[in-house]
């Protein structure tokens, strides 16, 4: 059998230093001056092995933008449905706010409280204070906790109304007997706990 021939691999040669005589100056490479009207592009110069300091843009080639994928139709449908839903909500909200103003014109009158005459308010306040005082006196003797609490609430409401009349007219009221009944009821409520 014939022996197989393997190709021999060439060993790379180490670069040999140039020996130049000290008396002869180094030779300059021969180059030709390029005409000023025609300048080679950077690519041509790079292919020739010449480095350039400035990178020139090649104006003849045009960059082509990447083409994106077409949008997913589900996103388009979802956007349209969401927009329609939002528009319906806005229309319903606008219709309900406008319709309530037309249907119930009397509700605006209820919000505006009619001015109360001070004399009427004074009579009602004194009646509540008297009722609360008599209720406290009866409940105190019987030890009725619910009656005492109801009497306290009536006196507080009456005193508040009398204070309002005082602010409106400047008239002062003698609330001392009501306040004494109020103190007596609070002491008894503390004992009944």
Average pLDDT of every residue of the chain: 76
Percent of the chain with pLDDT over 70: 58
The residues spanned by each domain of the chain are: 118-192
pLDDT attached to residue 172: 87
Span 118-125, average pLDDT: 88
> What is the per-residue pLDDT across 30-44, written as a single tens digit (0 to 9) for each?
666 555 555 656 666
Residue 133 near residue 155 (C-beta atoms within 8 A): yes
Q: How much is the pTM? A: 0.42
**Alpha helices (H) in 59-171, listed in sequence order:** 73-103, 105-111, 118-142, 145-169
Neighbour count for residue 147 (Cβ, 10 Å)? 17
Confidence check: pLDDT of 114 > 90: no
Confidence check: pLDDT of 3 > 80: no
Confidence check: pLDDT of 13 > 70: no
Confidence check: pLDDT of 76 > 80: yes
> What is the per-residue pLDDT across 141-173, written as a single tens digit (0 to 9) for each?
888 889 999 999 999 999 999 999 888 888 888
- Token pair in block for residue 57: 């843009």
Q: Which of 54-63, 114-123, 127-136, 177-186 is the least confident region?
A: 54-63
105 falls in which pLDDT band (50, 70, 90)? low
The residue behind tokens 């309900």 is: 96
> Regarding predicted confidence, which is higher, 182 or 25?
182
- Token pair in block for residue 157: 């409401």
DSSP state of 116: P
- Token pair in block for residue 53: 């300091």
pLDDT attached to residue 53: 61
- Using a 10 angstrom Cβ sphere, with 0-12 exposed, 13-18 middle and 19 or more buried, the burial of residue 1 is exposed
Span 79-95, average pLDDT: 88
DSSP state letters, 93-113: HHHHHHHHHHH-HHHHHHHSP
Residue 184 near residue 138 (C-beta atoms within 8 A): no
């Amino acid at each position: 059998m014939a022996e197989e021939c393997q190709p021999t691999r060439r060993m790379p040669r180490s670069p040999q230093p140039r020996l130049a005589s000290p008396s002869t100056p180094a030779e300059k490479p021969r180059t030709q001056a390029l005409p000023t009207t025609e300048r080679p592009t950077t690519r041509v110069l790079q292919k020739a092995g010449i480095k350039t300091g400035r990178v020139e843009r090649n104006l003849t080639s045009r960059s082509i933008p990447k083409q994106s994928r077409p949008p997913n139709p589900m996103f388009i449908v979802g956007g349209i449905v969401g927009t329609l839903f939002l528009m319906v909500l806005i229309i319903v909200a606008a219709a309900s706010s406008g319709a309530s103003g037309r249907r119930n014109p009397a509700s605006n009158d209820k919000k505006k409280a009619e001015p109360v005459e001070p004399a009427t308010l004074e009579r009602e306040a004194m009646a509540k204070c008297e009722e609360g005082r008599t209720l406290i006196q009866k409940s105190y003797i019987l030890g009725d906790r619910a009656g005492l609490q109801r009497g306290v609430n009536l006196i507080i409401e009456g005193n508040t109304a009398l204070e309002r009349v005082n602010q409106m007219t400047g008239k002062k009221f003698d609330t001392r007997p009501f306040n004494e009944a109020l103190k007596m009821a609070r002491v008894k409520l503390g004992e009944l706990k």
